[in-house]
Amino acid sequence: MRDLDRIDSRYAMEDQVIRAIQALWAGHGNSRIAVGGGDDCGVLRVSDGRIDWLVTSDQLIQGRHFVRDRHPPRDLGRKALVRSLSDIAAMGGRPLCFLQTVCLPDWAARSEWHEEFQQGMRAAADDLDLPDLALLGGDVAAGDMFVATVTAIGQVAAGTAVLRSGARAGDQLCVSGSLGGSAQGLKLLLGESPPPLDHPAVRRHCAPGSRLPLGWSLRELPATSALDLSDGLAIDANRLADASSVALVIEASRVPLFPGSALADALVSGEEYELLFTCAAGCTGLSGLDVTPIGWVESGSGVWLQTDQGRQRLVPRGFSHF
């Protein structure tokens, strides 16, 4: 499950492992790879040059991302799919198909739990209005704990994918929706007396939506950079700042809060699956979109939180997969 007390040292360890893997493959590649590791999706240019293919993969692990006796299996099936679709949304793409690999412990294989998980994944495609989304294949094996890995494949017009690396000084920084609801829902769900599963914050945590239509709109703006908020605003804003080699300034008073949530939760709440993006200052295309300007881009590095008391560094704190 997502532990809000894990701080930047765990984030640094995750980043170190990723960089070590990437270093092993330095120099191995081909001209079909337009964007490699370090963004929400890898980008392949393999057709006639008019289409880029987006490929992304995400895991859902028992004990790390969910607690068996608290998280409903149907909701977990939905979330397993949404996690990968959110990466495609961040780059302005349209999902076409996906693969799923499932590791089944005995308790899941011999009960209705896994069937409900699969039903939740299937229902998500209908709920998200994706009638053409197809299951391409995958793999199933037995193991000691439940793990589901979804690899999603989408497409976008060549050269138009919204990357993390395009933010420039003078841009405005925006976020979709409201933040903090997933953290609030997780706390309630794991408490001694959990509320009903239809509690708004619990639903926010257990059954996140998709920002695919917003991603398409951001590509048309155009947004200069974007990523999805999967590990928390503080962590993911630092990732965007690093990728673009800029500094981000977030105005604390402008961060949109989920009802009942505090700013402290909104900064570290994982599994929000909202979109954080930049666009030119004064961009007129934001009207009618569910987005809030929360700051701006400066030359420099890091992420800074602007409050009435001044400016302070926002360390990459939130959820780590380690």
Domain 172-313 is of which CATH architecture?
Alpha-Beta Complex (3.90)
Amino acid 234: pLDDT: 96
- CA angle in degrees (0–180, nearest 5) for 236-247-85: 25
β-pairing, 94-104 with 134-142? parallel
Per-residue model confidence as pLDDT tens digits over 115-158: 999 999 999 999 999 999 999 999 999 999 999 999 999 999 99
Amino acid 3: pLDDT: 42
Amino acid 10: pLDDT: 64
Burial of 308 (0-12, 13-18, 19+ CB in 10 A): exposed
Both ends of the chain: CA-CA distance in Å?
11
Q: Where in the chain are all domains bearing CATH 3.90.650.10? A: 172-313
Q: Where in the chain are all domains bearing CATH 3.30.1330.10? A: 33-157
CATH topology of domain 33-157: 60s Ribosomal Protein L30; Chain: A; (3.30.1330)
Per-residue model confidence as pLDDT tens digits over 195-245: 999 999 999 999 999 999 999 999 999 999 999 999 999 999 999 999 999
Per-residue model confidence as pLDDT tens digits over 233-291: 999 999 999 999 999 999 999 999 999 999 999 999 999 999 999 999 988 889 999 99
Q: Which two tokens stand for residue 81?
A: 């799919």
Q: Which two tokens stand for residue 316?
A: 């990459």
